[in-house]
Structure 1
Amino acid sequence: MSAEPDPARRSHESWRAILDATFELLEEGGYESVTMGAIASRAGVGRQTLYRWWPSKAAVVFEVFLAKTNIGSFRAGGEDFPTQLRAFAHGFRALYVDGPAGTRLRELIGAAQTDPDLARAMAEQWFEPRRAPVRQALLEAQKAGVIRADIDADTALDLVFAPLHYRLLVSGSPVDSKYVDAVVDLGLAALTPADAQA
């Protein structure tokens, strides 16, 4: 008698098939073309399997995004904070504007406005893991006197990255290298202690 299939292995194979199917559908028609029914059909699983693991289409797409997207973390040490901050801001532009994952990410940010579960997942699994090392580097720069100590770290980060998000998601104006440098320059001018600017 043949052994019974391993449930854990079968579940993993179904999970992988679902992620692969979702990625294929995204590449073929974009976020709007993806439905739970299309994912189930492409992956060869029942809809109940999808809803057992994910509450919505957006949740499946976000997991695919995390699985398929690789972006380097903020580089700690070896360079001064202003140089690191500029490099990270240009990395933001490269991901959102130049990279193939940028369109998917923008779609997910839009979907998160009406999907609290997706919004929470993105905050916890995407934004905070990337924001945390930048925040830590800024706190260290504050201790070193490179950045004003009287400014809240998260407010300081918002000063640089909120304008980039605004152009990307609201105004539609270009987020090019020149704009990124201008925003970083203005941010650093506001964040640098007066005696250090002399």
Structure 2
Amino acid sequence: MAASIRKARGRPRDADIDRRILDAARSLLAEGGFRALSFDAISQMAEVPRSMIYRRWPTKVHIANAIATGGEGRLPDVIDTEGLEAQVLALVEQLLDRYQRPDIGAAAVGVIAVTQGDRALQRELQAESETAARATLADIVARGQRAGLIADGASADALFDLVIGSLIYRVLFSLEPLPEGYAASVTRLLVDGLARR
């Protein structure tokens, strides 16, 4: 979230106002999708002046990005203690749980739509969180390779794209409902592709 909030000048920011703004934005996104998100609606719901919102987030896509990329933070990291299958399952379940939340799903779709074709805005909003997530996954894969759990040729970069891309598509864009056991099915496919033979 920190990357998507402009640094305030002068007095320290009021964390309660930040929370009220984000809570209002989450409610609007969950109830009406990205189209329902506006500074006027947030201002009214959070009972704060529009100027307070602008000082924190310059546009509604910046607020949506804070919601889409904030939350539990780092990717799960259990490969050392629980093994490869538990690691992949934890990652898949985290992403499925996250993007099935109505506020986060609507925020993510809005950010994707608004930033499409605008590489500068994509870098501004996503570079820090994506770089950190890719680095975390690369470290997990490297440790799995050193432990003999993951094939030496397995690419952490490709794994990131496969997991994030496929799950976001399925949850946010596919018309098909998630079948029971979907996380386990995806996990098995990924583990079969990653495991050292």
Task: Note if contact 1:74-1:134 (Cα within 8 Å) is conserved in structure 2.
Answer: no
Q: Distance in 1 between matches of 2:127 and 2:175?
A: 23
Deviation at 1:20, TM superposition (A): 4.0
| Counterpart secondary structure, 2:96 | helix
Task: Note if contact 1:93-1:176 (Cα within 8 Å) is conserved in structure 2.
Answer: no
Deviation at 1:57, TM superposition (A): 1.3
* 1:38 alignment partner, one of 28, 37, 41: 41
Identify the residue that residue 188 of structure 2 maps to in structure 1: 185
Query: Which runs of no fewer than 5 residues in structure 1 stay unpaired?
Result: 1-6
Identify the residue that residue 63 of structure 2 maps to in structure 1: 60
Which shifted more, 75-84 or 19-28? 19-28
- Count of aligned pairs between the two proteins: 181
Identify the residue that residue 172 of structure 1 maps to in structure 2: 175
Q: Distance in 2 between matches of 1:22 and 1:160?
A: 27
Pairing of 1:60-79 with structure 2 (within 5 A) = 60-64=63-67, 69-70=71-72, 73-76=75-78, 77-79=80-82
Q: Distance in 1 between matches of 2:172 and 2:28?
A: 23
Cα 1:19/1:184, change in 2 over 3 Å: closer
Deviation at 1:140, TM superposition (A): 0.9
Q: Distance in 2 between matches of 1:62 and 1:26?
A: 12
Task: Note if contact 2:68-2:105 (Cα within 8 Å) is conserved in structure 1.
Answer: no
Larger relative contact order, structure 1 or 2 (CA cutoff 8 Å, min sep 6): 2
Cα 1:180/1:25, change in 2 over 3 Å: closer
Pairing of 1:1-198 with structure 2 (within 5 A) = 8=11, 11-12=13-14, 14-26=17-29, 29-64=32-67, 69-70=71-72, 73-76=75-78, 77-97=80-100, 102-113=101-112, 114-115=114-115, 116=118, 117=121, 120-125=124-129, 127-193=130-196, 196=197
Deviation at 1:31, TM superposition (A): 3.5
Q: TM-score, normalised by structure 2?
A: 0.71
Q: Distance in 2 between matches of 1:15 and 1:86?
A: 33
Q: Distance in 1 between matches of 2:138 and 2:126?
A: 18
Q: Distance in 2 between matches of 1:140 and 1:25?
A: 41
Query: What amino acid maps onto 1:41 in structure 2?
Result: Q
Q: TM-score, normalised by structure 1?
A: 0.71
Q: Distance in 1 between matches of 2:31 and 2:104?
A: 16
Deviation at 1:141, TM superposition (A): 1.0
Identity of aligned residues (%): 26
Task: Note if contact 2:25-2:37 (Cα within 8 Å) is conserved in structure 1.
Answer: yes
Task: Note if contact 1:21-1:42 (Cα within 8 Å) is conserved in structure 2.
Answer: yes
